[in-house]
């Protein structure tokens, strides 16, 4: 069951990357451009969450 869930997540990530690539080239349909924006937003949120968790860990040691 866990392998199935991870496989779906990996496929979604790969699909999002393909949409971002096509949108950057300029030949993507409207739905792919929307999915590319959602993918980039998700990556920004994950990056900011990662930064926040690292800053809280280092700030707690001092």
What pLDDT, on a 0 to 100 scale, did the predictor assign at position 19?
Answer: 93
What pLDDT, on a 0 to 100 scale, did the predictor assign at position 30?
Answer: 95
Integer Cα distance of 13 and 10 in angstroms: 5
pTM summary value: 0.69
What pLDDT, on a 0 to 100 scale, did the predictor assign at position 52?
Answer: 79
* Per-position pLDDT tens, the chain of length 62: 999 999 999 999 999 999 999 999 998 999 999 999 999 999 999 899 888 777 777 655 55
| Long-range contacts of residues 40-48, Cβ cutoff 8 Å, at least 24 apart | 42/16
Integer Cα distance of 56 and 14 in angstroms: 31
What pLDDT, on a 0 to 100 scale, did the predictor assign at position 58?
Answer: 65
């Amino acid at each position: 069951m866990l392998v199935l869930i991870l496989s779906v997540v990996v496929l979604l990530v790969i699909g999002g990357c393909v949409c971002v690539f096509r949108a950057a080239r300029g030949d993507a349909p409207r739905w792919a451009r929307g999915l590319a924006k959602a993918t980039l937003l998700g990556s920004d949120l994950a990056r900011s969450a990662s930064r926040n968790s690292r800053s809280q860990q280092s700030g707690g040691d001092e």
